[in-house]
Amino acid sequence: MLASLGCEVRLIRKVGDLDGIAGLVLPGGESSVIDKLTRIFGIQEPIRELIRGGLPVFGTCAGLILLAERLADGIAGQQTFGGLDVTVRRNAFGSQLDSFETDLEVPALGPEPAHAVFIRAPIIESVGASVEVLASVGDEIVAARQGNLLGISFHPEVAGDARWHEYFLKIVAARN
């Protein structure tokens, strides 16, 4: 999605890959596996330092879980990078079979609804005072921003809606 918007994209596999990045996307997937791999490859703490230093970070689904300061139901020993003052519950909408699509009202993206695809999606159970709620499904918070950190429960790349990535790129541009 970012490459289609004209961005240079770099995969992060080792500490040196973090050098000089303007922003970081934490993708969907399995948050506990991503957590373990970042520790195995020694990039967990450098990512935490970049977040503390103000690096713009966009977390989608599992990436939201990794950005959360608090995890309501992580597996034994699961850690997050932190930074986003929220409590997140993994798989809150149910199993793979409970996946769904819906349109969200997101004033930050403009007047048109944003189509969202939820796959074993987390929810944001609570937010700190400095967190802006961007979207909800009923009473469940599914998108939030705190400064340079953006976290969403769903997969905009599956829906083909580039507006979330464009919104993130504005956060990156404002910092640089």
Distance CA(124)–CA(146), nearest Å, equals: 13
- Of 23, 83, 59, nearest to 164 by C-alpha is 59
Distance CA(77)–CA(12), nearest Å, equals: 23
Distance CA(46)–CA(86), nearest Å, equals: 21
H or E element: which one contains 159? helix 156-159
List the catalytic residues: 61, 155, 157
